[in-house]
């Protein structure tokens, strides 16, 4: 049997609210009477039970809530322990490469190289355990020094930082010239 319009509305309300919703609020929101809503909810409760679904509707002191069936908790615990896939955006890769080649390095030094704030990128790399704090620079403010971790080496399949690719000095000169030209073009535009 297909869901009715009222069933769809009640399901949307309970799913979206994520907490118990009073019957009178459901009736007002759906445009149906409280009796129609109560009967429909009771039918939905039975349908969810009989179809062996992962969710259920429960009644809590005249209010109704959609929640996970207790039989599903073990499955939920297993998914909670599956590590999330780490996505390295271009910004994160750029920041990570600066840290890898210049470590130990401070955020200020990274920002000087990148030309933009790096708080978010560095924090994400620390969260992903690719970068960690390795001390403080002996300078005013004692800025934190960052370096790569063993997890960085594992993820990139290298045994030591000595295996990082070496940039051809001629290419470095080309990059410098391109950067200077870009700066001059932007300066002339001002």
Task: Note whether 120 and 66 are same-domain residues.
Answer: no
Report the number of distinct structural domains present in the chain. Answer: 2
Task: Note whether 16 and 106 are same-domain residues.
Answer: no
Instruction: Give pTM, 2 decimals.
Output: 0.50
Q: Structural domain of residue 61, as residue ranges?
A: 5-75
Residue that terminates a domain, selected from 75, 107, 123: 75
Q: pLDDT value at position 1?
A: 41
Task: Note whether 30 and 105 are same-domain residues.
Answer: no
Q: What 3 state SS string does the chain have?
A: CCCCHHHHHHHHHHHHHCCCEEHHHHHHHHCCCHHHHHHHHHHHHHHHHHCCCCEEEEEECCEEEEEECHHHHHHHHHHHCCCCCCCCCHHHHHHHHHHHHHCCECHHHHHHHHCCCCHHHHHHHHHCCCEEEEEECCCCCCCEEEEECHHHHHHHCCCCHHHCCCCCHHHHHHHHHHHHHHHHHHHHHC
Residue 20 lies in a domain: yes
Instruction: In whole angstroms, give the CA distance from residue 44 to residue 65.
Output: 12
Task: Note whether 144 and 53 are same-domain residues.
Answer: no
- β-bridge pairing 63-68 and 55-60: antiparallel
Task: Note whether 95 and 185 are same-domain residues.
Answer: yes
Residue 85 lies in a domain: no
- Biggest CA-to-CA distance, the chain: 80
* CATH number of 151's domain: 1.10.10.10
Q: pLDDT value at position 12?
A: 95
Residue that terminates a domain, selected from 28, 48, 75: 75
Residue 185 lies in a domain: yes
Instruction: In whole angstroms, give the CA distance from residue 150 to residue 129.
Output: 9
Residue that terminates a domain, selected from 75, 100, 127: 75
Instruction: In whole angstroms, give the CA distance from residue 67 to residue 45.
Output: 11
pLDDT tens digits, the chain, 190 residues: what are they? 456 899 999 999 999 998 999 999 999 999 999 999 999 999 999 999 998 899 999 999 889 999 999 889 888 888 877 766 677 899 999 999 999 999 999 999 999 888 889 999 999 999 999 999 999 988 888 999 999 999 999 888 888 888 888 877 777 777 778 877 877 787 777 6
Q: pLDDT value at position 164?
A: 87
């Amino acid at each position: 049997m297909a869901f009715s319009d009222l069933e769809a509305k009640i399901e949307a309300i309970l799913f979206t609210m994520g907490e118990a919703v009073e019957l009178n609020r459901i009736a007002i929101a759906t445009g149906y009477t409280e009796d129609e809503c109560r009967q429909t909810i009771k039918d939905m409760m039975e349908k969810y039970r009989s179809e062996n679904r992962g969710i259920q509707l429960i009644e809590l002191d005249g209010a109704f809530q959609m929640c996970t069936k207790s039989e599903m908790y073990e499955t939920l615990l297993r998914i909670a322990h599956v590590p999330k896939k780490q996505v390295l955006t271009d910004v994160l890769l750029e920041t990570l490469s600066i840290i890898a080649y210049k470590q130990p390095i401070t955020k200020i030094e990274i920002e000087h190289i990148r030309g933009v704030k790096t708080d978010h990128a560095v924090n994400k790399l620390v969260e992903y355990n690719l970068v960690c704090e390795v001390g403080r620079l002996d300078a005013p403010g004692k800025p934190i020094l960052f370096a790569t971790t063993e997890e960085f080496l594992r993820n990139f399949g290298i045994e030591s930082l000595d295996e990082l690719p070496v940039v051809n000095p001629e290419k470095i000169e080309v990059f410098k010239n391109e950067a200077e030209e870009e700066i001059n073009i932007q300066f002339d535009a001002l």
